[in-house]
Amino acid sequence: MENLNKALQGRKQTVSGDLAAAETVTCAFKYLRIEDKFDDIFERCNSYVEELDLEPVKTPRIRKPPKKYSSEANCHVETDARKYFRNQLYEALDNAVVQTEVLFQQSGMEQYKKLETILMSGEVSKVVDSYPEIDSDSLKLQVPLFRKLHKFSSLQQAATEL
């Protein structure tokens, strides 16, 4: 996630590149949600605990809510450290995946991607009509002319030419 944040702040980053990077991160998070992956992580943690002579991994102590907020019944508390931390990790991963998908699946991101496609392909689409400050008839002439005058194969090169 930190690498994604750093990449998104780059000066030469494109919307299509942002979307691809976000997709890569969400796939990596979904991959970590496989039970065997958690078991590998948990076993590695336990080996580090033994290697560094630390206290064993255990569930946090049980905190009872104030009586005015709870009833007489006992609430469920996970006593197995493996299950407890698996639930914690899965909750964090699910939250990260959902938030990333919500952020990058907005209609504005798709519109920016279409604008990038116009620059790269030279074909002006109807997405330009939603911008009153852009004259689509002039743009239909300007984009092919720009592509003819400046040779570029990536959006970064096109942005440098602008």
- pLDDT tens, position by position, 84-119: 999 999 999 999 999 999 988 888 888 888 888 888
User: For position 63, what pLDDT does the model report?
Assistant: 77
Distances (CA, A) of 99 to 3, 95, 102, 107, 161: 16, 6, 5, 15, 35
Q: CA-CA distance, 51 to 27, in Å (whole number)? A: 32
* Residues 97, 29 contacting (CB under 8 angstroms): yes
* Residues 14, 116 contacting (CB under 8 angstroms): yes
Q: Does 141 share its domain with 114?
A: yes
What band does 10 get if pLDDT is binned at 50, 70 and 90? confident
Q: Does 65 share its domain with 140?
A: no
User: For position 43, what pLDDT does the model report?
Assistant: 94
User: For position 144, what pLDDT does the model report?
Assistant: 85
Q: Does 55 share its domain with 90?
A: yes
The answer to pTM > 0.85 is no
Number of domains comprising the chain: 2
Which of 136, 36, 19 is closest to 4 using CA atoms? 19
**Does the pLDDT at position 34 exceed 80?**
yes
* Residues 119-131, mean pLDDT to the nearest whole number: 84
